[in-house]
Chain A
C-alpha cells in the first residue's frame, strides 16, 4: 500500500486537481474587484451601517459553511430569486455546476481577501496622496499612480490567501452544488469521497499531502507579501 502513496497521480486525479485549480482561479478573479471596493469603503469611508457591512463581510468566516451553502441554495437555486433570474435572462444555471462551486468558493474567500486588502489600504500614507494632489493629479490619477501601487502587496496577499482558501473549500460547496464527479468534485470533496471507499486510503493520503503543500506554500507567499507592506508601503522619505 505504501507504494501507492507515492504513485504518480492518475488521469482522474489530475483532472480533479485541474478542476480545483480552475474553480479557485475563477473564484478569486471574479470576486477580487468586489473585495477591493468593499475593502476601500471600509478603510476610507464613513457611512451609516458600516459596522453591519463589516460584520456581513466576515460572516462566512464564522457561519457554519453548511449554512452558507444552504443560503446560496436559497438564493441561487432553481427557485431562488437570483437563480431564477439568471436562468430566465441568461440561461445560466449554477446548481451542480463548477461555476456554482466557484461561487461558493468565492463567497467563502471574501472575509480573508477583504481583510488583507483593507489592511494594505489603511497602511497607505494619505499624505502622499495629498502631495500628488498638489502636483496637479486628478483623483483617478492619484488612485492609479499612488494608492493602488502602494496597496498592491495587500492585493497580492489577498489573491494568494483567497486562492488557498478556495482550494480548501468544502462545506458550502458540497451543500450548494453537491458532489458531481468531473463537475464539482474538487480536491476536498474528492478526499471526502475517497474516504468513503474501501480502497481509497492511498488517494486520500496523496491528496492530503498535495493540499497541505499547496496551502503551506500559499500562506508563506502571502506572509512575504504582508511583510512587504509593513516595510515598504509606509516608507516615506
Chain B
C-alpha cells in the first residue's frame, strides 16, 4: 500500500441549526461510520459523492482531491466515480434490472459483468422490473450497479439492511473482497458488522 491516504476527510455542514461534521484521515481501506440514526452519516456519504456540498473542509479519496473549500475544488458527482449504494437503493423504476446494472458502465472498465452477477446471485433477475424485486434482491442489484460502474471507491449506506442472515454473510464476504480493489466508506448502525469486517470504526455522535 502506498503512502496515499485512502480517506482524508474533514468536512462540516450546518443544516437547520444542526451541525454535521467528520474528520477522518487513514490509509485503512475500509472505514465504518457508526452512530445513531439522524446523526448525519448519510449526509457524509452524500458529501463524498458530491450530491450535497459541505460548508467547508476537504475530501480526498485515494490521494485524489474531490472537494476543497479553500482551493475552490468541487468535482461534479459524475466525475468522482463513487460506487454509491444508497440505503433506499434508488433503482430506476422505468428500467429493467439489466439496464439498471449497465447504467454506469463506462468504456475501459475491467469489472467483469458475469463475475458480479455470479457473486451477488442476481443473474436470473436481469429481465425483471425493480418493482418486482424483493428487498434483498433490490439491494443486491443496487450493489451490482455500483460495482459495474467501475468505481474508484465505494460508499455503502446500510448495505445489509433488509437482507437475510445467509445473504448478509455472502455480501460481507463480497465486501471483504472488494476492499482489495477500492477503498470503502461504510455506514452502519450495527457495530458488529463493522467489527466483522475489521474496519476502522469512526463513531459519529450528535453535538447537541
Which residue numbers of A lie inside 8 Å of B, CB to CB? 125, 127-128, 130-138, 145-146, 149-150, 232-233, 235-237
Contact = CB atoms under 8 A, between A and B. Distances in A.
B88 A127 contact: yes
6 cross-chain pairs, A with B, having the tightest CB-CB distances, nearest first: A135-B104, A131-B90, A237-B130, A133-B77, A134-B84, A235-B93
7 contacts: A131-B90, A133-B77, A133-B78, A136-B79, A150-B93, A237-B89, A237-B91
Contacts of A233: 93
Given A236-B88, A237-B131, A134 B93 contact: no
Given A127-B86, A237-B130, A237-B133, A134 B49 contact: yes
Contacts of B166: none
A235 B92 CA distance: 9
Interface string B35-59: 0000000000000011100000000
A237 B92 CA distance: 8
Contacts of A146: 92
Contact of A128 (B49, B81, B90): B90
B187 interface: no
B51 A130 contact: yes
A185 B82 CA distance: 60
Contacts of A125: 90
Interface of B: 49-51, 76-82, 84, 86, 88-94, 103-104, 106, 130-131, 133, 138, 145-146, 149
Contacts, number: 67
Given A132-B92, A145-B103, 11 more contacts: A127-B88, A128-B90, A131-B92, A133-B77, A134-B78, A135-B78, A135-B146, A135-B149, A136-B79, A137-B103, A232-B94
A235 B84 contact: no
A136 B133 CA distance: 25
A135 B103 contact: yes
A110 to B, nearest CB: 27
Contacts of A133: 50-51, 76-78
A235 B146 CA distance: 20
Contacts of B145: 135
Nearest to B99: A145
Contacts of A149: 94
A69 B104 CA distance: 51
Contact of A237 (B76, B79, B84, B93): B93
A128 B93 CA distance: 9
Contacts of B149: 135-136
Scoring A136, A138, A233 by chain B CB atoms within 10 A of each residue's CB, the highest score goes to A136
B103 A132 contact: yes
A139 to B, nearest CB: 8
Contacts of A137: 78, 103-104
